[in-house]
Every structure is written in structure tokens, then in C-alpha cells.
Amino acid sequence: MSQDYSLGTVEVALTPVQRLEEYLQSKGKRVTQQRRIIVEQVFARHEHFDADDLLAQLRDLIGPKKVSRPTVYRTLTELVEAGLLRKMTLGGRSVYEHDYGYPQHDHLHCTKCDKLIEFSSDEVKKIRDDVGREHQFRVTGHRLIITGVCSDCSRSRRTARPHDLI
Ligand SMILES: [Zn+2]
Ligand SMILES: [Zn+2]
């Protein structure tokens, strides 16, 4: 493969917490200590996660009684509305990942182990824009998820099932 499907980088002026502060201010709300901890945890590294993954991480970090499920759900919704996170639905499960400060990309989704592989393709963007133009449609984004079986899962089909959920 000579084609480059790697992701570029995006520069942003504000930190995720500052960006959330700005968004919440416009709604007359403030960044509470709990929200701040959640944002910091979410943006510590790029990964694909669901609300339960995040809740488990937070309970490890600050103690099981310190954070409730409704708070995590509410904050995730705010982070999506503020443009910090992107939400996708995979097999009925809501999965989140960074949007703010992270380049536009698409995914390969392994239906055996739920692994997500990221890629970026100019051809996909071109097709999207061409089709949009043909329909006088103002394109603001797209989402492409290619489903199938990853190389690890096809290799280990006859051995143990991998548990490396990402
Ligand atoms: Zn797999
Ligand atoms: Zn991704």
C-alpha cells in the first residue's frame, strides 16, 4: 500500500477544560470540580470508550462513592454538545472519542473483538464532497464505519478469543 491513511494533527487554542468552560458559560453554567475531573480523565489519552468504561476509570481514580452514573452520562452529553467529544453507535453501544483537537477520521470496526482502527482518506472526503455537490447539499461532515474482522481475530479464530477491547 503506497497510500497514506494516517491521521494528521490539529492545533487548538484552548484546552478541553477551557473550551467546556466557554460552552457552559454560554448556558449560564459552571465547570464543577467533578466535571473538571471527568474532562481531564477523558482527555488524558485518545481512546474509544463507553460510559461504563469511563465510570470504572473515575471510580478507580477518585473513589467509588465520588462519582455517580447520572453525572457521567450528563457530562458526556455536555461534552458532545460542546464539540469536545464525538459519539457513535456500534452494535447498540454508544462509544465516545475526542473530537476537539483531533483530526477528522473514519473507522474499521472489528465485529469480533470491537476493536476500532482509525484511518483518514482524501478519496473518501472527495467522494463525500462530489456527491454533496451533485445534490446541492452543503456537506458538514460524514461518518464511515467499515465493519469486518481484524487481523488478530482472523488469525486466532481457532485459538482463544482475544479480550483486548478498545
Ligand atoms: Zn478483532
Ligand atoms: Zn476514532
* pLDDT, average across residues 79-100: 93
Which of 50, 80, 96 is where one domain is finished? 96
Give the whole-angstrom CA distance, residue 54 versus residue 96: 10
Give the ligand with the smallest distance to the CA of 105: 2
pLDDT of residue 16: 93
Q: Point out the domain boundary residue: 96, 118, 134.
A: 96
Q: Is the pLDDT of residue 162 over 80?
A: no
Distance from the alpha carbon of residue 112 to the mean position of ligand 1, in angstroms? 5
Q: What number is the average pLDDT over the span 113-122?
A: 94
**Does the predicted TM-score (pTM) go above 0.85?**
no
Specify the 3-state DSSP secondary structure of 46: coil
Report which bound ligand comes closest to the CA of 149: 1
CA of 90 to the centre of ligand 1 (A): 14
Q: Is residue 19 part of a domain?
A: yes
Q: What is the pLDDT of residue 163?
A: 60
2: CA distance to ligand 1 center in Å? 24
Average pLDDT score, the chain: 90
- pLDDT tens digits, one per residue of 11-46: 888 999 999 999 999 999 988 888 999 999 999 988
We report the CATH number of the domain holding residue 26 as: 1.10.10.10
Q: Provide the domain count of the chain.
A: 2
Stretch 96-116: mean pLDDT: 93
Only one residue has cell 467533578, namely 34
Looking at the domain assignment, is residue 8 inside a domain? no
* CA dist., res. 113 & res. 149, Å (int): 8
DSSP 160: P
Ligand 1 centre to CA of 162 (Å) is 7
Quote the CA–CA distance of 105 and 113 in Å, as a whole number: 20
Rounded to the nearest angstrom, the distance between the alpha carbon of 158 and the centre of ligand 1 is: 13
Q: For residue 114, how far is its CA from the centre of ligand 1 (angstroms)?
A: 6
Model confidence at 1: pLDDT above 70: no
* Domain residue limits at 115: 103-166
Q: How confident is the model at residue 160 (pLDDT cuts 50, 70, 90)?
A: low
The residue out of 74, 96, 118 marking a domain boundary is: 96
**Rg of the chain on CA atoms, in Å:** 18
Provide the pLDDT for residue 164.
54
Question: Could you tell me the distance, in angstroms and rounded to a whole number, from the CA of residue 145 to the centre of ligand 1?
Answer: 14
CA of 107 to the centre of ligand 1 (A): 13
Q: How high is the pLDDT of residue 91?
A: 82
Q: Is residue 7 part of a domain?
A: no
Q: Give 79 Cα–ligand 2 centroid separation in angstroms.
A: 16
Q: Which ligand is nearest to the CA of 156?
A: 1
